[in-house]
Each structure stands twice: as structure tokens, then as C-alpha cells.
Structure 1
Amino acid sequence: MIGIATFFLIAFGIPWAGWLLVRDENMSLWLFPLFASIAGFSAAYAEGGKEGLKVFSRRVFAIAPSVPYVLAGVALPLLLGLSYLLTKGVPLFSMPWSPAAVLALSLGAALVTGPIAEEFGWRGYLQHRLLNRFAPFWTALIVGAIWWVWHFALYRASVFASPVSAFNFFAYLVTWSLFMVFLVESGGGSVWPAVALHWAANTHPSVLQSLQPYVDGGILPGGSKGSLFYLGAACAFAAINHRFFFAKRASGSVSHATADNSFKPKPLRGSA
């Protein structure tokens, strides 16, 4: 349990202390979220020392097997957003492709403040650890719920100010958690697909606004808007891929870094 204890102590302890005690917007967005990813590396070191950290790093930083899923992660939020606009009767054939849209696609700051700062912890360590005990669907729900609670200290006066907005935010995070568990595991455990999806999820409202400059901003999805539509799409995706999401890995088929120094993905029971 030393790895899990180390992870939660760092991932929650330092950000929550900062968000509750320090009133500095730059530190809240740029510094404190970083400890979610630091927690993942620290937990791997606590469990396996230098060798455990080395194996963890090889898995989460792997690029080659994850490239298709990185591209899917970038495209997925935008496709969901465009689908949501279609349900609202917004015509998509007249979308302008302008420099503003290109600029919106290159929001570099959004890549650092959330995706890189967090995903090596949530999907790199915690998700991988929970998959040893739970099927991917339940793992995604658990990680999504923990991810939601983690945001409380930061958004306690806004998102968590009402039960409705808090629930919509929960649905929004669970949506991405469901897609991330599929993309990360399909990419061999590399975290880059989750980083790409997290970045695209954070920026796609701005991209859609650039692509649809004449649409009322109140219609554009993002945050709580469209969250139930997004969650419905994620649940439909899970139902279509039910063999992946609901088949628990065979007991002992996946070992952590400290056991066999291997993070190669193992087949799910009943899958090819």
C-alpha cells in the first residue's frame, strides 16, 4: 500500500493545501495541478525504487504504439462537440476555416496546465493500479470520481456551488475517463493518448467557437453544457466495446513494476 498512500498524499495533499491557503491564480493553474503527475512518479519509486521508476517511465512515455490513439484522443472531443451542435440544429456546412481556428488548435498553455500536469498520475499510475482489481469500466468510474473530488478545493466556489453543476461536471469527467481507459490501454499503457484527449477536451469549446463564430456561445458545449450528451456517447461506446470494458483481467495476469518489471499490456479474459 505504500505506493497508493504516497500517490494520494502528494496528489491531494499539496494541491489542496495550495488551493485552500494560497490565493494566486498562476500557482493554482500552473503549479499545484503538477503534483498529480509528480504523485504518479513518486508512487512508482516508492514501490520499486529506481528500477520501478525506470519501468514506469518507459511505459508512460512510450510513443510508437500510442500514435494512433493520440490522434484519436485529439479528434474525439471535437467530433463529440460537432455532434452535439448538430442535435441543436446548428448547420455545420458553413464552418469557416480561419486563422482564429488554427490559433485555437494550438493553445499550448492548455497542454501544460492540465494534461501533462495530471495524466501521469491519474492514468499513468492510478488507472494502471486499479486495473489489477477492476474491469476497465469500473476503473474508469473510480478514477473519474476521484478526479472529480480532486477538483473540489479548486472549484468549490463555482462548479461545486450547486448540486446540478457539480453533477454535470462529474458526468463530464467520467466521459473522458471512459474514453481514456480505452485509449491508454490500447496504446500499451502510454499516457500520451490521455494527454492528447485531456488537452482536446479543454480546448475544443474554443475551437468550436472559432469554427462557428456566429453561433450563440450559450449553445457551445464545454463544462456542464452537453455533459449528459457526452456521457451518453461514452456509455454507448462502452456498450459497443463491452468485451473490453466489462471483462476483468485474469487474476495475477498483470503485475506491477515491483513484481516483474513489465508493463506490457496483457489480454483481457475472453478477448483476442
Structure 2
Amino acid sequence: MPTSIPLASRATSAAPATPDRHRGDLILFMAIAFGVSWASWFTAIGLGGSATKAPTVLPYLFGAFGPLMGALVIRVRRARRGEPAPEHVVRFRRTTLLWAPLLLALASATVLSAALLAHAAGGPALSWDDAKEVMRDAGGPAAFLISMVISGPLSEEPGWRGTAYPRMRASMGRFRVGLVLGVIWAVWHLPLFFIDGTVQHELGLKSPSGVLFAVSTIPMAMLTACAYERAGVIASIAVHFAVNTTMVLLDVKAPVTQAMIIGVQAIAAVLLLTANRPTNKPTTSIPSLTDHGSR
């Protein structure tokens, strides 16, 4: 007669992720994010032409989704291994619906206030004429806003913040993660300086504006990390969207304005990182597609 096995002994619990597995996930994520993006963008460079016109536009746009593709691979890999989400992952919560718009407004305000301060210091005046032209070229306000959500915030944040950030936090402090991830983010953008029709190409890699763009990824990484810790990947998408959109509408290119934005965002990020405690304690969550992207 076969011996019955107690139910408790047959149940297996998910093994916690180890530092080595976090490191392995990070290496795989970075390989996919950089591999997909750089392969696509170097293809666009080889094709020549503008990033807004065929055939260059296709690999240019596809390259932006490298971080998202890396995040999806890591998510599937973790699920197959039966591992719980990393300790510092922040899931979707009901409070996200409140925090996301507040953080969006704050992020936009950092750009607007810095632009006003730069103008007071002798920088260019603010004008909405360029904003109207940008929205008209994009096919109207709705098309412009949709493109600004997809290109950058949605294609990047589930990767940089939703996947890389919590795994880096397992062995680094919040400020160090912001610095390291900001530098990695700047390096990831480098091929865009060689694609005609991109903002980076217009700024120029060796120009003051190009250097300031690279430096600006560090306070941006910290600012989006603050949003992620407060309300998850949706909030970091909102902050990324707000900063990008406000800068495009205000046509921010002058070095004095860029420098002022870096200063204002750095101050805001330091204050938020210092004052806010991570909100990654278990709480009641609402299942959603975005929850999968933030693990």
C-alpha cells in the first residue's frame, strides 16, 4: 500500500532571490536593453536619413523599447523560477491614482520653474509658438501626447525603474542607485546623438547642451526613482512623461536653461529621497497589466 505524503510536505514555497540571481537578472536585463536598442539605433545610423522618415524611423522607434523588452524577459524568467518579486519592488496600489497626477504636476513644475529662473538670469524667454508647431506637426494635441507617453516613459520605465532599480537597491543605497543608473541611462542614449532628426543630434554630443543632456539623466533617474518608490512604475512613467513633454513644449535647448533644470531637479530629488520612505511594504494591490511591468 503506497505511503501517503502529507500535504504540507508536498507544498513547495518559492525560493527567495539571492544576490547572485539579482546580479544575473541585472546582467541579462542590461544585455537585452542595450542589445536591442543599440542594434536598432546603429541600424538607423547606417540607413542614414531622418529619424522622422522611412526607413530610418522604424529601427529608431523600435530601439526605444529595449528596456521594456528586457523587463518582460526578466519577468517571465522570474515567474518560471517560482521566485517572489524582489524586496524593493513597488506594486500598483489604489493610492497610485492619487500620487501619479501629483508627481506629474511636480515634475512639470521643476522644468517650468527652472525655465523661468533661467529667463530671469538672462536666458531665453518662454514662448508657446514652438509648442503649437510641435503639436501641429505631430498631428494634433492628442497624437502628440500619445507619442510622448509611448516614446520614452512607457518604453523605458518598466525596465529602468520597474526592473533594474529594485534589484540594484538590494545591494546599494538609494542615492548610489540613482547615480549609477543615471550614468547607465546616459550611456544608453549615446547612439541617438548620431541619428539625424533626434533631439540629441540637434544638441550635439560635444556641445555644452549635449553634455548637459547627459548630466541631466542623473537627477532624472533620482526623480523617477522617487516616484517609483512612492507609487510604482505608473508614477515613474508619469514623471518621465511630464519632464519630457514640458521640455519639448518649451523647446528647452539653451545651456543656461538646461543647467537650471538640472539644479532644480537635483534639489527636488534629494529632498524627496531624504524625506520619503520607500512604500514597498505588502499592501492590498489591484491586479493590472502595469503590475507585471513593475516587477
| Deviation at residue 126 of structure 1 after TM alignment | 0.6
Deviations 1:229-251 (A, max 9, x none): 12212332244346358x9x9xx
Paired residue secondary structure (2:209): helix
Correspondence for 1:178: 222
Correspondence for 2:98: 68
Decide which of 69, 92, 109 is 1:38's aligned counterpart: 69
Correspondence for 1:269: none
Correspondence for 1:229: 260
Decide which of 205, 213, 217 is 1:169's aligned counterpart: 213
Give the 3 Å change call, closer, same or farther, for CA 77–244 of structure 1 in structure 2: closer
User: Is the 8 Å Cα contact of residues 11 and 39 (structure 1) preserved in structure 2?
Assistant: yes
Give the 3 Å change call, closer, same or farther, for CA 161–51 of structure 1 in structure 2: same
Tell me which amino acid in the other structure corresponds to 2:252: P
| Deviation at residue 18 of structure 1 after TM alignment | 1.4
User: Is the 8 Å Cα contact of residues 169 and 223 (structure 1) preserved in structure 2?
Assistant: no
Tell me which amino acid in the other structure corresponds to 2:241: W
Correspondence for 2:148: 110
Give the 3 Å change call, closer, same or farther, for CA 60–15 of structure 1 in structure 2: farther
Q: Distance in 1 between matches of 2:132 and 2:213?
A: 31
User: Is the 8 Å Cα contact of residues 34 and 117 (structure 1) preserved in structure 2?
Assistant: yes
Give the 3 Å change call, closer, same or farther, for CA 223–78 of structure 1 in structure 2: farther
User: Is the 8 Å Cα contact of residues 81 and 221 (structure 1) preserved in structure 2?
Assistant: no
Correspondence for 2:29: 7
Q: Distance in 2 between matches of 1:61 and 1:84?
A: 32
| Deviation at residue 166 of structure 1 after TM alignment | 3.5
User: Is the 8 Å Cα contact of residues 209 and 253 (structure 2) preserved in structure 1?
Assistant: no
Paired residue secondary structure (1:226): helix
With 15-24 and 141-150 compared, the bigger mean Cα shift is at 15-24
Paired residue secondary structure (2:172): coil
| Deviation at residue 34 of structure 1 after TM alignment | 1.0
User: Is the 8 Å Cα contact of residues 111 and 243 (structure 2) preserved in structure 1?
Assistant: no
| Deviation at residue 65 of structure 1 after TM alignment | 3.0
| Deviation at residue 95 of structure 1 after TM alignment | 8.7
Correspondence for 1:194: 236
Correspondence for 2:15: none
Taking only the aligned residue pairs, the percentage that are identical comes to 21
Decide which of 246, 249, 258 is 1:204's aligned counterpart: 246
Give the 3 Å change call, closer, same or farther, for CA 200–237 of structure 1 in structure 2: closer
Give the 3 Å change call, closer, same or farther, for CA 14–79 of structure 1 in structure 2: same
* Residue 145 in structure 1 maps to residue 176 in structure 2: no
Tell me which amino acid in the other structure corresponds to 1:135: G
Q: Distance in 1 between matches of 2:263 and 2:212?
A: 12
Length-normalised TM-score, structure 2: 0.65
| Deviation at residue 141 of structure 1 after TM alignment | 1.2
Q: Distance in 1 between matches of 2:143 and 2:113?
A: 18
Decide which of 170, 193, 210 is 1:132's aligned counterpart: 170
Tell me which amino acid in the other structure corresponds to 1:169: F
With 136-145 and 223-232 compared, the bigger mean Cα shift is at 223-232
Tell me which amino acid in the other structure corresponds to 2:210: A
| Deviation at residue 105 of structure 1 after TM alignment | 9.7
| Deviation at residue 10 of structure 1 after TM alignment | 0.8
| Deviation at residue 21 of structure 1 after TM alignment | 2.4
